[in-house]
Copies of this chain bind each other. A is one copy, B any other.
Amino acid sequence: MVGKFITTDTPIHDATLNVLAHLPTASLDAVVDDGVWAKLADADFMRIATLLAQKSYDEGGCPIGGLIIDNLSRKIIGKGHNTLVQEDHPYNHGETSAIRDAGRADFSRCTIFTTLSPCDVCAALIYMRQFSRVVVGDITNAVGNEDMLRDKGVMVDILEDTHTIALYKKYRTEKPELDLEDWKGKAAL
Chain A residues close to B by CB (< 8 Å):
84, 88-92, 96, 99-100, 102-105, 107, 119-121, 123-125, 127-130, 181, 183-184, 186
Contacts and interface: CB of A to CB of B under 8 A. Distances in A.
A186 B127 contact: yes
A90 B100 contact: yes
Contacts of A99: 90-91
A89 to B, nearest CB: 6
B89 A128 contact: no
A91, A102, A119, A130, most chain B CB atoms within 10 A: A91
A102 B129 contact: no
A186 B128 CA distance: 6
17 contacts: A84-B104, A88-B103, A88-B104, A89-B100, A89-B104, A90-B102, A90-B103, A91-B99, A91-B100, A91-B125, A91-B128, A104-B181, A119-B128, A120-B128, A121-B125, A124-B124, A124-B186
Contacts of A128: 91, 119-121, 183-184, 186
State the 8 A-B residue pairs at the shortest beta-carbon distance, nearest first.
Answer: A88-B103, A120-B124, A128-B186, A121-B124, A124-B124, A121-B125, A88-B104, A128-B184
A104 B91 CA distance: 9
Nearest to A130: B184
Contacts of A183: 128
A67 B16 CA distance: 44
